[in-house]
Structure 1
Amino acid sequence: MFLGKFKDESGTSAIEFACYIFIFTLMCGLMIDISSSVIKKGQLERVNNSLMAILRERNDFYNGRINFSKEDVEQLDNIANVLLADSDGTVEPHQLTIRMIEFSPDSTSDNKIRGQERTFSTIVVAGCDYQTGTKTSIDTLSNLSAWGVPPTAKQNATNPFWYPVYEITLCVPGAVSYFHQMIGGFKKNMSSLNIRNVAIPRI
């Protein structure tokens, strides 16, 4: 009787130990996914902030030109390629989108008349397509504009106006999910990361 009881307790302990190992393995996979996502998000935020700092400097880099072109987006994407390059020189696939909301010259401080909207994107990559993804509403972007004259303008030399609003969206496809692999899920990748930054230009 004692021997049988010992065998039963040994079997129960083995089953419990196997369950603990399985749960611990799942937790490790989940922590790896979370850690890699946080690290990647931080990197993309720094890159996006750097790109926005360049885009805002309309006098220094764009001769005071408010509007931007497809060529400007390509130049910023080249900078993003340098900032996103790994130690071996490879560049992680990504999509860069720049959007601008400008306002009519007939606008007043009490009447903001929205004008043209410009949007340029680099090529679509798997998991990143700005046209089919969730976008910031035009009203939300318009509310971030400011009324005034350029700080560099001479007093009374320039009429006040509503500043245009720039938005940069940097998207990187989702990385391989170790958690999903461990649980045998059909979805092997995490969600794509979309980092957005909005600002008005320095003129």
Structure 2
Amino acid sequence: MSQVRVHNFSISLDGFGTGEGQALETPFGHAGERLHEWLIGTQFFHAGDQLAGGTLGADNAFAAQHNPGIGAEIMGAGKFGPPGWQDDPDWKGWWGPNPPYHTPTFVLTHRPRPSIEMEGGTTFHFLDATPTETLAQVREVIGDADIRIGGGATVVRDFLAEGLVDYMHVAVVPIVLGRGVRLWDGLESLEDTYNIEPVTTSSGTTHLTFTKKR
């Protein structure tokens, strides 16, 4: 059976995975890019950009685990677009004609639309389904490859609450947001079902890995 994984999911010290006020101009609300500065500085983030460079070290090592073995991504409506994107038939995501996923990508929304085939191997499929139903449909498409839960915080939390996540990497960034969408609400006693290991890096980021106990 394929594994369900979460990688490079950044939260603030107070547990917010995105800020308040998401809009076309502010994809992460008032948080801006502060949650992802640790990632933006890595060599992994700049792969293919010969001039940009980027750092190595532990941050890059965690970041680079994002893609290997992944056959599909699942994301929420808020990751695919700003509030109201469902009313724009031409909206195809934030990423331009060649999104960075290069796999089938399943968007959870209460207003599904026909699939959109993009450049580079990404095809967006739109589902109105529970986490368990979604995984069943994704596995019918991709077989035994691993599945990445890409966010936002609500989607990751929903899959965790149903016990469906096998491995999760959360990057705790040393900022306080105070408002937005929190990851941990309602998720008590995760330590009972996951082995949790922390690694703190020179960027000030603490990487937490959660591996499901067998």
TM-score (norm 2): 0.27
- Structure number with larger C-alpha Rg: 1
- Say which structure, 1 or 2, has more relative contact order (CA 8 Å, 6+ apart): 2
